[in-house]
Amino acid sequence: MQIARCDSGDVGETLYSSSYQPDPKSALDVLAFVLTPVEAFAQIDHPEEREAVAELLDSAKAEAIKRWYSLRSEADQN
């Protein structure tokens, strides 16, 4: 199957920026962070660095999800 046209023009969001600040209230931002692989943050050829980054990311990802749920609950109550 061949794709007739590219849908990327419809996205309208910055996919990468070194100064990008994710919005903790945005499900899309949180999901993008949670699904970003460790390799995006650490070099694969340094196992110790990769493992340390993976540990930090696991807790940061869990915190991002918890914060999103908390902010969503607050918004639902208002």
pLDDT score for 77? 83
What is the domain range of residue 25?
A: 21-77
The full DSSP string for 7-56 is -GGGT-S-S--TT----TT-HHHHHHHHHS-GGGTS-TT-HHHHHHHHHH
Give a yes or no: residue 3 inside a domain. Answer: no
Is 51 inside any structural domain? yes
**Is residue 58 situated within a structural domain?**
yes
Confidence of residue 59 (pLDDT cuts 50, 70, 90): very high
* pLDDT for res 17: 53
The verdict on residue 2 lying in a domain is: no
Hunting for tokens 């902010």 — which residue is that?
71
Residue 39: inside a domain: yes
pLDDT for 7 = 53
Is 69 contained in some domain? yes
Q: What is the pLDDT of residues 12-56, one digit of tens each?
A: 555 555 566 788 999 999 999 999 888 888 777 888 888 888 999
Our count of domains for the chain comes to 1
5 lies in some domain: no
Distance CA 77, CA 69 (A): 12
Does residue 4 surpass a pLDDT of 80? no
